[in-house]
Amino acid sequence: MKVLLAWLADFAWVLYAACGVGAVIYVARALSLQRRLGGTLTVFERETMAEQVARLWRLAITFVTLGGVLFVGQVYFLPQVVPEEQVEPTPTLMVGLATSTPSPSPTATPLLGALPTITTTVAPPPPPPSPAPTLTPTVPAGPSPAYPLNARFGDVAELVGYDLVSTEVRPDQTVGLTLYWRALEGAVNTDYWVFTHLLPPEFDRLIGQHDGVPAGGTRPTTGWAPGEVIVDYHELIFYEAGYSGAAQIAVGLYDPEIYVRVPVEGGGDYVLLPTIITVVAP
């Protein structure tokens, strides 16, 4: 136990540095998330970001507290438990040891005189083998969405199309939407969520929404293989029971830890599906 405490005393600066770095990182993330809190679009987003801010502040305070506990322990507790190390004398090498010199090995003397000449017959090289026939692999056909699309979200995924259960719904129903994602190399780096927002023609508010891990939570992006097509189903729930008229669906990806959306190639951070949804009064 004393050996462990002595080791901790020698390397306490590493723990201080780790606590300081952790506190700075979480304070910076909390302040950055607070700045985004006022510009969020939905109640769901604000609540999620508020929880994230509180959690980040708690982690920052934890790192600061841990650093203080380590300082108090090193200054007041360790000197009473771990005695000062005694310096052991450094042993010196013994003198007068003779190093034996190895005897040189005798060098063989080549024999003089002519050796008989041996004539060898070189066999002709065998003919090269015939190339194996090339087989063309059969690639299985992927899913065919009813509405093809080509929208790339950074290096995470490409939205290749979508299906709709119906283009005419009532506010007391849900909007069934199936998205088809083709995974890219950056999908495995972060556990991204998908958001699907139902918007009126003015795009000034949400009338329906569904956010979550792809495929109902069964296919997180950290498990996607590059080139794989993931079928991702969502049911958008209405917020305005009395709404009727036209609507469109906005689709995107975001990191739920820091609440940052994945940019879309060509500009923006979401894709507006071109299909018009007709909401009829019940």
Per-residue pLDDT of the chain (282 residues; tens, 9 = 90+): 555 656 666 666 677 778 788 778 888 887 887 777 666 557 777 777 778 878 888 888 998 888 788 777 777 766 666 555 444 444 444 444 344 444 444 444 444 444 444 444 555 666 666 655 444 333 345 688 999 999 999 999 999 999 999 999 999 999 999 999 999 999 999 999 999 999 999 999 999 999 999 999 999 999 999 999 999 999 999 999 999 999 999 999 999 999 999 999 999 999 999 999 999 988
Q: What pLDDT does residue 82 have?
A: 55
Which 3 state secondary structure label does DSSP give 49? helix
Q: What does CATH list as the number for 147-279?
A: 2.60.40.2550
Angle at 68 between CA 73 and CA 20, to 5 degrees: 125
The pTM for the full model equals 0.56
> What sign has the CA pseudo-torsion 251, 252, 255, 258?
negative
How do the domains of the chain map onto residue ranges?
2-81, 147-279
Q: What pLDDT does residue 9 have?
A: 62
CB 5 within 8 A of CB 85: no
Q: What does the block give as tokens for 236? A: 């958008």
